Amino acid sequence: MDRNQLVNQSIDYIMQHLDEDLSVESVADQFFISKYHFSRIFKAVTGESVYAFMKRCKVDQSAVDMKLNPEKSITDIGLDYGYSSSNYSSVFKKHHDASPVKFRQSIPTSGMPVPFTPERTAHFKTAQEYASRIEIQELSDFFVLYERFIGNYVELEKHWYQFLDLYQAYLQEETILVERFFNDPAITNSSQCICDICMTVGEECGLDNLMRIQGGRWAVYHFDGEIKDIFETLQGIFNVWLPRSGYRMAQRYGLNIYRHIDREKHRVRMDLCIPIS
């Protein structure tokens, strides 16, 4: 396993176990290397220490939980991520410049500025309007070729085109293009958002950057519009529809499945897929 594979797989492991008692040593043990060697590799590849990454992701994910579970107490959310009540408030405020109480009070329900283009305001629809375009579906696993992107999601379109040009030889008529996104860009610092850009391939594909994305039960919103409006739609689903839907987001990460891409008009037809339990 090369350094990038090690770091990618360790990020996957950390993100799947944020509500557990993670340590640098416990993550390194999953890959049978010393915590010192693992820490050096992780910092060299990502520019961030393992400990800082884990701490940041825990706090960010707790903020997502606050958004999705308005009836759940702040104390219980902090406990889920290993924090006492007073410690959680201190850590959260240091990271988000607001206490958990203030953050919860500021969660938008009608609209919000778009973080990558502050001059724009995202306007949300009603829960009923989102529900009219959502289906509950069972999706099979996806076996994919992927590249991991860490940075501002506004740059995803450019990276997608580079990815498609690079792996053009693997594109078939039946190929499905998939994004797996790890972060909410309204919460995570825009330069630290993680996304996997993927295309389905046969399991005989001989490349190293392959993985299986777990299927399951998903709330699927059928989007047809400009790429710049995807953020607005996803925020509306997460802020308005999901907390009122009766569904809970499962411990998997969201997928965007592309059905058609118009490069010239910057438009897409795609399924925005939220894992639910």
pLDDT confidence of residue 99: 95
Give mean pLDDT, residues 150-171: 93
The reply to whether 259 falls in a domain is yes
Same domain, 143 and 235: yes
Interior CA angle at 221 toward 267 and 122, to 5°? 65
Same domain, 96 and 158: no
The answer to whether the CB of 165 falls within 8 A of the CB of 263 is no
On the CB side of 266, CA atoms within 13 Å amount to 10
CA distance 270 to 257: 5
Measure CA of the first residue to CA of the last residue in the chain; give whole Å: 33
Same domain, 10 and 89: yes
Same domain, 101 and 168: no
What 3 state SS string does 193-209 have? CEEEEEEECCCCCCCCC
Count of domains forming the chain: 2
Task: Show which of 106, 124, 148 is a domain's final residue.
Answer: 106
The reply to whether 264 falls in a domain is yes
**Is this prediction's pTM over 0.75?**
yes
Same domain, 236 and 153: yes
pLDDT confidence of residue 252: 78
The reply to whether 11 falls in a domain is yes
Q: Using one digit for the tens of pLDDT, what is the confidence trace for 241-276?
A: 999 999 999 877 899 999 999 999 999 999 999 999
Same domain, 60 and 187: no
Q: Using one digit for the tens of pLDDT, what is the confidence trace for 85-99?
A: 889 999 999 999 999
The reply to whether 111 falls in a domain is no
The CATH number for 80's domain is 1.10.10.60
pLDDT confidence of residue 15: 92
CA distance 118 to 120: 5
pLDDT confidence of residue 57: 95
Same domain, 77 and 184: no
The CATH number for 259's domain is 3.20.80.10
DSSP string, the chain: --HHHHHHHHHHHHHHTTTS---HHHHHHHTTS-HHHHHHHHHHHHSS-HHHHHHHHHHHHHHHHHHH-TTS-HHHHHHHTT--HHHHHHHHHHHHSS-HHHHHHH--SSEEEETTEEEEEEE---HHHHHTTEEEEEE--EEEEEEEEES-GGGHHHHHHHHHHHTGGG--TT--EEEEE---TTTS-GGG-EEEEEEE--TT---SSEEEE--EEEEEEEEEEEGGGHHHHHHHIIIIIHHHHS--B-SS-EEEEEEEEETTTTEEEEEEEEEB-
DSSP β-bridge partners for residue 211: 144
Task: Show which of 64, 86, 106 is a domain's final residue.
Answer: 106
Containing domain of residue 16, as a range? 3-106
Q: Using one digit for the tens of pLDDT, what is the confidence trace for 213-236?
A: 999 999 999 999 999 999 999 999
**Ramachandran angles phi, psi of 97, nearest 5°:** 60, 25
The reply to whether 116 falls in a domain is no
Same domain, 93 and 146: no
Same domain, 16 and 102: yes
